[in-house]
Amino acid sequence: MSRYLKRLKATNDSDQYYHVFQDRGVTQIEQYRTPEFLVYEQDVLDSVEFQKHEWKMGDTYWRLSSQYYGTPKHWWVIASFNRKPTESHISVGETIKIPFSLSEALQVTY
């Protein structure tokens, strides 16, 4: 299932993007809104076994999801589990948690 099926859309007609609109020949752009992640209690997250991963230059959630789960589509589980919604919230050298069991992680993050 696509992660975009449940996403809200917003219409952007801000004057700030005048040149973008002009280049595209439109007066507004429809965009997907930034997703909101649920915040889970720490004891719930602690109940799931995980392995540590040191964030390196070039790491992305979708690459880690591919590496650990065999598919990039569960990137959001890693983001949610670490309470870091985007890669820009993580610094090189920081340690993040990768849940061992995707099914357990999905039960507490979905």
pLDDT tens digits for 58-97? 999 999 999 999 999 999 889 988 889 899 999 999 999 9
Model confidence at 56: pLDDT above 90: yes
Residue 91's region, left for phi above 0, alpha for psi from -120 to 50, else beta, is beta
pLDDT at 88: 93
Closest CA to 109 of 80, 71, 79: 80
Q: What is the pTM of this model?
A: 0.63
Closest CA to 99 of 62, 36, 53: 53
CA angle, 49 then 52 then 53, to 5°: 140
Model confidence at 32: pLDDT above 60: yes
Model confidence at 109: pLDDT above 70: no
